[in-house]
Amino acid sequence: ASAVMAAACGRALLVPFGGRFWACPRAPLRSLTAAAPLYDVVVSGGGMVGSAMAAALGHDIHFHDKKIALLEAGPRKEYHLPESYSNRVSSISPGSATLLSSFGAWDHVCSLRCKPFRRMQVWDACSEAIITFEKDDLDDMGYIVENDVIMSALTKQLDAVADRVEVFYGSRAVGYTWPLPSHSCDTSPWVQIELADGRRLQTKLLIGADGHNSVVRKEAEIQNIEHQYDQSAVVATLHLSEATDNNVAWQRFLPTGPIALLPLSDTASSLVWSTSHEHASELLTMDKESFVDSINTAFWSNVNHSDFTDAAGAMFRSVLSLLKPSGTAMRQLPPSVAKVDAESRAVFPLGMGHATQYVRHRVALIGDAAHRVHPLAGQGVNLGFGDIACLAHHLSAAAFNGQDLGSLKHLLRFETERQRHNVSLIAAIDLLKRLYSTSLVPLVLLRTWGLQATNALPPVKVRFFFCTR
Amino acid sequence: NVFSRRVRGVGFMTWLSLLRVTVQRLLSTSQPSVDPKEMRKFQLLAHKWWDEQGEYSALHSLNDIRVPFIRDTLLNVGSTYQRGSPLSGIRILDVGCGGGLLSEPLGRLGASVTGIDPLEENIRTADQHKSFDPVLAKRIQYKSGSLEEIVEESVETFDVIVASEVVEHVADLEMFIKCCSQVLKPGGSLFVTTINKTQLSYILGIVIAEKILGIVPEGTHEWEKFVPPEELQHLLEAYGFSVKAVNGMLYNPLTGSWSWMESTSINYALHAVRSEDQAQTSQTEPLSEMESEQCSVTAGTS
């Protein structure tokens, strides 16, 4: 009878919070849950974003007496820095580097290896338009770091707070049971988690960091707007023809998709080439020499230029140089590639996704579970790190005020802040992807003039740059 | 003989009812701080405490300012800070704890909290809510009863007393403060949040909050029992307290949130410290009646 009443009360509560509470009474009776250990926060997903979230909370002073758990399906990996570079790298923004250093992980990254870059050149294959980004004080704009290096640094910092953060390796969550709204009688108010090996956990707050196919998001029945792109990304580790300063990140928009060369060292760079599925499998299977040739041709060839767009672009540039003499730049060419590392070529499909809600009562989504973007802006993991900085800030304040960590009040504040930041950026990246996927003359003209104008107008350029921090 | 039997019967019944009335009166004078009318008001809402969007939503959001106020004041007073538990080692008495809305955050911050409330139903709700969290279940104890009842066994036991949104429901404020000073350790802190007795508090606190917007259930407050900060300060000083801070609070019904404000004309929070000197309390007692008369005179004209 009390469960029925509780369910009825629950339904009445749905209206004000717009359906953030659970509609079906699925919470188990108190007696069944007595044995399962209770955690203050459980992070589901031990990738870069999940591990960083657990580490950030574990090192927070207001979480000193709290119990945190991190669930990772894979085994624990002992990392020894190999000679060759891994083909999975990320572009880490200065803001993300600040987050990582806030709990001591950035020092480990620097002591392993990372490559700072000072300039970014982005240009079109269909015209002469280019845009370059660099900081006035010639400071580091960002860092190219292998994902394995970041994971190793995070694992080290998790070990440092092992008394607070318990990492469950080889543990996949197979089921979640959601609590009823707070004022019911006999049912547990916590989230119940069932692991594949039958173990059960309870938690006051569940953070879903389990990637773009998030189980937490699906079980929470949060709607996801998603779209599979008609592109795959080819990654590889490349060796340059000759050693150079190599502190520039290069990206050229081809009609089939953007190709990017990210510096790893003075002699090596990482390739991220987004292209059609057919071309991607061709690139994967062709011999090494042809692969290297394709890359150099992609960066150097002007075959996609048309006289019309060249003339139109040149005319626009001369107009701009009248208004703003320093606003035009000459296109520089990236270093040429000599060879590709054996076994370093790989392909993965690309898509875009955005969850309509990031939070529910006692649940929050971060990283790819909440949003997935095209790699053309190098923002994927930085958005995730931005989520962590924001959520950790709100949870820390809530802990210092003695509040219930799973309360929607501060979770909604996190959601509002991050959605405000993420939605416009994700839409802009998607728009850029579509705009640059065509060689139709009017659109080429539009983006040529747009790019040239943006390059010439510092306020717009600076705003775009800071947006992607 | 029939007559005498009837007289004896009537006499017995009269005696019984007289006894009942006397006992009731005795009981009520031993608990002058508890008003039975007030208890009935809260009885009806005993199960609504933990609905954050329900009748008590304003009290839930009040935690956003009253918990930091208590925490920061105690951190400034104390000498040691234990990481993650700013109130660790502090014994707090939460008078009129209701469903435990304030006891739980204080417990999470590390304090040992004793919550008392005259209504059994409230204590039951509070006990049931804390039972799911083993840390809170250990740190918080709830007892049904009034302040007077625990004075006997708790002389100078508590470091802090919190009386939040309580003194405007109390029948005899002076007795309440006297009990607070007996139960507090010397040098201990008393935190009070309540409503001022002004025209503005009548318009906003009763007419608008209860009758028009329904932020507070109707009939919760009676303007006659509101306490002006000057009167409270007078009474506190008479019983050996020294008032350290008085801050005004403002509720925004659109956002559902509280903020601090200069003026204490509506809601206010007060922090007082019980003096270390024991002798002061007994000396000021004979003066207190005269002082309270003066207070009521000034209250009538304000």
CATH code assigned at B205: 3.40.50.150
pLDDT at A430: 84
**Residues A79-134 pLDDT 10s:** 999 999 999 999 999 999 999 999 999 999 999 999 999 888 888 887 777 777 77
Neighbours of B37 (CB within 10 A): 10
pLDDT at B140: 97
A198–chain B Cβ distance below 8 A for any pair: no
Neighbours of B174 (CB within 10 A): 18
The whole-number average pLDDT for the span B4-16 is: 56
Torsion sign over Cα A431, A436, A438, A442? positive
Name the band, by pLDDT with cuts 50, 70 and 90, for residue A35.
confident
Return the residue of B nearest to A404 by Cα.
B105
pLDDT at B295: 42
- Indicate the burial class of A405 (C-beta count within 10 angstroms; 0-12, 13-18, 19 or more): buried
**What is the residue-averaged pLDDT of chain A?**
86
Identify whether the C-beta of residue A384 lies closer than 8 Å to the C-beta of residue A392.
no
pLDDT at B242: 95
B225–chain A Cβ distance below 8 A for any pair: no
Strand partners, A202: A38, A192
pLDDT at A314: 81
- Indicate the burial class of A452 (C-beta count within 10 angstroms; 0-12, 13-18, 19 or more): buried
Mutation pick from A409, A411, A413, A416 vs chain B, by most beta carbons of B within 10 Å, is A409
Return the residue of A nearest to B61 by Cα.
A409
CA distance B20 to chain A (A): 37
Measured in whole angstroms, the distance separating CA B117 from the mean position of its chain's CA atoms is 9
How far apart CA B146 and CA B65 sit, in angstroms, is: 26
Q: What's the number of domains chain B is made of?
A: 1
pLDDT at A14: 37
Identify whether the C-beta of residue A359 lies closer than 8 Å to the C-beta of residue A415.
yes
B255–chain A Cβ distance below 8 A for any pair: no
Q: Give the residue with greater pLDDT, A421 vs B155.
A: A421
Task: Write out the residue range of the structural domain in which residue B112 sits.
Answer: 32-274
How many interface pairs between A and B have CB atoms less than 8 angstroms apart?
A: 60
pLDDT at B219: 81
Identify whether the C-beta of residue B221 lies closer than 8 Å to the C-beta of residue B168.
yes
B57–chain A Cβ distance below 8 A for any pair: no
How far apart CA A410 and CA A415 sit, in angstroms, is: 9
Name the band, by pLDDT with cuts 50, 70 and 90, for residue A184.
low
Mutation pick from A41, A165, A400, A407 vs chain B, by most beta carbons of B within 10 Å, is A400
CA distance B59 to chain A (A): 13
What percent of chain B has pLDDT above 90?
A: 54
Strand partners, A120: A133, A249
**Residues A126-171 pLDDT 10s:** 777 777 777 767 688 899 999 999 999 999 999 999 999 999 999 9
**Residues B241-257 pLDDT 10s:** 999 999 999 999 889 99
pTM: 0.85
Three-state secondary structure string covering chain A: CHHHHHHHHHHHHCCCCCCCCCCCCCCCEHHHHCCCCEEEEEEECCCHHHHHHHHHHHCCHHHCCCCEEEECCCCCCCCCCCCCCCCCEEEECHHHHHHHHHCCHHHHHHHHCCEEECEEEEEECCCCCEEEEECCCCCCCEEEEEHHHHHHHHHHHHHHCCCCEEEECCCCEEEEECCCCCCCCCECCCEEEEECCCCEEEEEEEEECCCCCCHHHHHCCCCEEEEEEEEEEEEEEEEECCCCCCCEEEEEEECCEEEEEEECCCCEEEEEEEEEHHHHHHHHHCCHHHHHHHHHHHHHCCCCCCHHHHHHHHHHHHHHHHHCHHHCCCCCCCCCEEEECCCCCEEEEEEEEEECCCEECCEEECHHHCEECCHHHCCHHHHHHHHHHHHHHHHHHHHHCCCCCCCHHHHHHHHHHHHHHHHHHHHHHHHHHHHCCCCCHHHHHHHHHHHHHHHHCHHHHHHHHHHCC
Any domain includes B280: no
Q: Do B83 and A61 touch (CB under 8 A)?
A: yes
Crossing angle (nearest 10°) for helices B173-183 and B229-238: 50
pLDDT at B8: 53
Identify whether the C-beta of residue A168 lies closer than 8 Å to the C-beta of residue A369.
no
B55–chain A Cβ distance below 8 A for any pair: no
pLDDT at A454: 75
Q: What are the extents of the domains in chain A?
A: 38-466
pLDDT value at B237 more than 60 = yes
How far apart CA B1 and CA B6 sit, in angstroms, is: 8
In this structure, of A317-326, B158-167, B192-201, the range with the lowest mean pLDDT score is A317-326
B185–chain A Cβ distance below 8 A for any pair: no
pLDDT at B280: 45
Contacts of A61 in chain B (CB under 8 A): 83-84
Q: Do B106 and A407 touch (CB under 8 A)?
A: no
Q: CA dist A98 to A104, A107, A213, A389, Å?
A: 10, 11, 28, 10
How far apart CA A253 and CA A273 sit, in angstroms, is: 10
Q: Give the residue with greater pLDDT, A306 vs A107.
A: A107
Q: Do B84 and A61 touch (CB under 8 A)?
A: yes
The SS3 assignment for B159 reads strand
Identify whether the C-beta of residue B191 lies closer than 8 Å to the C-beta of residue B106.
no
pLDDT value at B287 more than 90 = no
Of B53, B67, B84, the CB nearest to A401: B67
How far apart CA A400 and CA A63 sit, in angstroms, is: 9
User: Which of the 8 DSSP states describes residue B255?
Assistant: T
Contacts of B133 in chain A (CB under 8 A): 38
Contacts of B107 in chain A (CB under 8 A): 402
Contacts of B68 in chain A (CB under 8 A): 401
In this structure, of A218-222, A312-316, B294-298, the range with the lowest mean pLDDT score is B294-298
Any domain includes B192: yes
**CA A326, A331, A337, A342: dihedral to nearest 10 degrees?**
80
Task: Classify domain A38-466 at the CATH superfamily level.
Answer: FAD/NAD(P)-binding domain (3.50.50.60)
pLDDT at A302: 79
Any domain includes B12: no
How far apart CA A306 and CA A126 sit, in angstroms, is: 7
Q: Is B283 left (phi over 0), alpha (psi -120 to 50) or beta?
A: alpha
Measured in whole angstroms, the distance separating CA A282 from the mean position of its chain's CA atoms is 27
**Residues A420-459 pLDDT 10s:** 999 888 888 888 888 887 777 777 878 887 777 777 766 6
pLDDT value at B283 more than 50 = no
Any domain includes B103: yes
> Cβ contacts of residue A409 below 8 Å, gap of 6+?
A403, B52
Residue A138 sits at the vertex; the CA angle it makes with A132 and A141, to the nearest 5 degrees, is 65
How far apart CA B129 and CA B124 sit, in angstroms, is: 9
pLDDT at B152: 83
Name the band, by pLDDT with cuts 50, 70 and 90, for residue B28.
very low
CA distance A160 to chain B (A): 17
Any domain includes B290: no
Q: Of A418, A360, A432, A397, which Cα lies nearest the Cα of A49?
A: A418
Crossing angle (nearest 10°) for helices A48-58 and A147-160: 30
Of B52, B85, B134, the CB nearest to A65: B85
Q: Which amino acid is at A377?
A: A
Q: Give the N- to C-terminal CA distance of chain A in Å, as an integer.
A: 54
pLDDT value at A16 more than 60 = no
Most confident of B21-30, B42-51, B220-229: B220-229
Identify whether the C-beta of residue B20 lies closer than 8 Å to the C-beta of residue B100.
no
Name the band, by pLDDT with cuts 50, 70 and 90, for residue A2.
very low
pLDDT at A468: 56
Identify whether the C-beta of residue A53 lies closer than 8 Å to the C-beta of residue A43.
yes
Q: Do A183 and B133 touch (CB under 8 A)?
A: no
Tokens of A335: 């270093």
Return the residue of A nearest to B48 by Cα.
A183
Of A30, A65, A185, the CB nearest to B84: A65
- Asked whether the ipTM of the predicted complex exceeds the cut of 0.85, the reply is no
What percent of chain A has pLDDT above 70?
A: 87
